[in-house]
Structure 1
Amino acid sequence: MRNPLFYAKILLFGEYGIIEDSKGLTIPYNSYKGTLTFDENSQGKISNESIRKFAAYLEENFPGEFDFDQMKSDIEEGMHFDSTIPQGYGVGSSGALVAAIYERYAANKIETEQGISKEIIAQLKETFSKMESFFHGKSSGIDPLICYLNLPLLINSKTDISTIGIPAQKEGKGAIFLVNSGAPGETAPMVQIFFEKLKQDGFRKTLKEEFIKYNNACIDAFVKGDVNPLFSNLKKLSTWAFLHFKPMIPQRLLDAWQYGIQTNSYYLKLCGSGGGGYILGFTKDYEKAKTHLQDFDTEIIYKF
């Protein structure tokens, strides 16, 4: 068996907004990774059982599209997904597994060696969306897509996604970092809360007129490397989320979230669907921000 590694991902901008056609920006995060293997470990049996159920779902929904004979044979031999990607933390644990299964067993795999066009991205996204729905009930397909391509992706709309270059990291004081809320979250209940909110005219209006405006401005500034407009829009985005996404913000982070806005020492935002797992932090002075967040584990994902 080939042994490709599939890495975690981070949705820097666009959580929930991409459901309503805002822009999104997602990047690979190579500190966490997973691979299909037969090596024995304590989590192997749990993963093997999960893949067995996933295989049954695929056989029902993708007849003839995967090498199911080989997949079943490998499952019987104890194949599992050996992964360091934490589950329920918003960094693509199920996306990486979906990408690995597609890479290994897809009968007519879309090859990306000759280049990655928007058409190829759209085809992959459609397949991955249907595959990952097994885990979340509904999936955009973005997580497996970035885990499979391992390249930053700019989401302009549901039908317009492309690879994008982002500014190189610098050894400055500033950082984008992860904040560990201390417990995993579940995607499906958080997404359900969002859809319930969308039924309210007032929420839908402020999402379109404020959230999407700030979100898109953050992406434009980040891609250009413009720090000041990035942070002025991050403050608006973080404040908006504190007011309107409060059910998705882990309870023990509410005070820290508000403190960052009040002092301008850092700004927090959701990393994926929220409810637990990781939260994203942005600061111009990481060491200073860390002193205010000393009750939480943090890790840098990007320096500037």
Structure 2
Amino acid sequence: MKGPLFYAKILLFGEYGIIKDSKGLAIPFNAYRGALKSSKNLTGKAQISNENLNRFYKHLASLKSNEVSFNLKAFKEDIDNGMYFDSSIPQGYGVGSSGALVASIYDKYAADKITVLENLTRDKLLKLKQIFSLMESFFHGKSSGLDPLNSYLSLPILINSKENIEPAGIPSQKEGKGAVFLLDSEQIGETEPMVNIFMNKMKNEGFRKMISEDFATTTDACIEDFLQGNVKSLFGNVKSLSKLVLKNFKPMIPTAFHKVWENGIATNDYYLKLCGSGGGGYILGFTEDYEKAQKSLKDYKLELVYRF
């Protein structure tokens, strides 16, 4: 057996803000993908994945929810017959490795599943997000359900608020100089500790005010510019966002990248922001001149996501 492919995702804008109900924009990232496969002789990563699926099976079996039910018997049989999730999506990198796995399990084993082909009303999207949140909480302790939703639908998703999400049309890529790229920190980031740091910071009134005012407003402006194709305005807003993140989210930025971050803002060669919860993994970069950014960041591994 070999299941359909599910892709990685990139949250272009909205990290942490979406926890507090501001806007977000997530896009599928087709460079990385995963699929359910089966083997009689499991070794290495496939063996570990099979064991993880068994733990995930127990999590789903213990869920008390009226929202969703699964064909647990078939799921357990497939695990016992050597099923594993074959994935190129790096784990702990902020690009949705657990999201793709959750999407693949829902697709294969959910009873009365909402399919990608039907008319996806707002209610159906919210229901899917809620189901995925329940499923993915196994991996992160708390999950918005957004990563699996993005992977399952393979569409850009605009998060207006917790109760208002919709598929988004993003401008088609141009052959211009500008780009969105990933910068590899070569460190693993863990979601849960980073979210805990954020939640502790939210106890501070000044931090809360910054999130609800400066951070949310700047993020919303970036999303608006990106969706409308206002590239010039976008870079001004992304620069402001990069400064805000450097000032207020230092613990989420690996120490080795504080200077790199500052350098981008000082030279305007590129602007960096968090990709997911931070703490390692990928850092997201925006530049008006990709070649210039590549020269400035020649000591690091970059991956192209989108061209302006």
Question: TM-score band (shorter)?
Answer: over 0.9
- Return the match for 2:62 from 53, 60, 63: 60
Q: For this pair of structures, how many residues does the alignment match?
A: 304
Equivalence map 1:94-113=2 (5 Å):
94-113=98-117
Q: 1:136 & 1:114 partners in 2: Cα distance?
A: 29
Please list the CA deviations of residues 39-77 of structure 1 after superposition, one character each: whole Å capped at 9, or x if unmatched: 456311000000100100100115781111111111011
SS of alignment partner, residue 43 of structure 1 = helix
Match in the other structure for 2:147: 143
C-alpha separation in 1, matches of 2:85 and 2:277: 23
Q: Select the residue among 164, 168, 187 that pairs with 1:164.
A: 168
- Give 2:47's aligned residue: 45
* TM-score, normalised with respect to structure 2: 0.97
User: C-alpha displacement at 1:107, in angstroms?
Assistant: 1.4
Distance 1:62 1:103, change over 3 A: farther
Paired position in structure 2 for 1:89: 93
1:29 corresponds to which residue?
Answer: 29
Structure 2 counterpart of 1:258:
262
Determine helix, strand or coil for the equivalent of 2:44.
coil
Which one of the candidate residues 290, 295, 300 is aligned to 1:286?
A: 290
Tell me whether 1:300 sits opposite 2:304 in the alignment. yes
CA distance, structure 2, for counterparts of residue 34 and residue 62 of structure 1: 28
Choose from 176, 188, 194 the match for 1:190: 194
Corresponding residue SS for 1:44:
helix
- Aligned match of 1:71: 75
Counterparts of 1:155 and 1:301 in 2: how far apart (Å)?
Answer: 20
**Is 1:213 matched with 2:234?**
no
Aligned counterparts of 1:143 and 1:78: Cα–Cα separation in 2:
26
Q: Secondary structure at the match of 1:4?
A: coil
Q: In structure 2, how many angstroms separate the alpha carbons of the residues matched to 1:144 and 1:196?
A: 26
Q: Distance in 2 between matches of 1:111 and 1:282?
A: 34
SS in 2 for 1:232: helix
Distance 1:193 1:72 in 2: 37
Q: Distance in 2 between matches of 1:58 and 1:21?
A: 27
Give the whole-Å Cα distance in 2 for the aligned partners of 1:41 and 1:169.
Answer: 41
User: Hey, what's the Cα distance between the residues in 2 that align with 1:34 and 1:177?
Assistant: 21
> Gaps spanning 5+ residues in structure 2: where?
none
- Letter of the 1:20 partner, please give it: K
- State the AA in 2 paired with 1:221: D
Residues 169-203 of structure 1 show CA distances to partners (whole Å, capped at 9, x for unaligned) of 01111100000001110000000000000000000
SS at match of 1:31: strand
Percent of aligned pairs with the same amino acid: 57
Match for residue 16 of structure 1? 16
RMSD: 1.1
| Deviation at residue 112 of structure 1 after TM alignment | 2.9
Question: C-alpha separation between the residues in 2 aligned to 1:184 and 1:157?
Answer: 29
Q: Which of 220, 228, 233 does residue 237 from structure 2 map onto?
A: 233
CA positional deviation for 1:294? 1.4
In structure 1, the gaps of 5 or more residues are none
Cα distance between partner residues in 2 of 1:275 and 1:2: 34
Q: CA deviation at 1:263?
A: 0.9
CA deviation string 1:197-254 (max 9, x = no partner): 0000000001111011100000000000001110111111000000000000011111
Assess if the C-alpha contact under 8 Å between 2:2 and 2:35 holds in 1: no
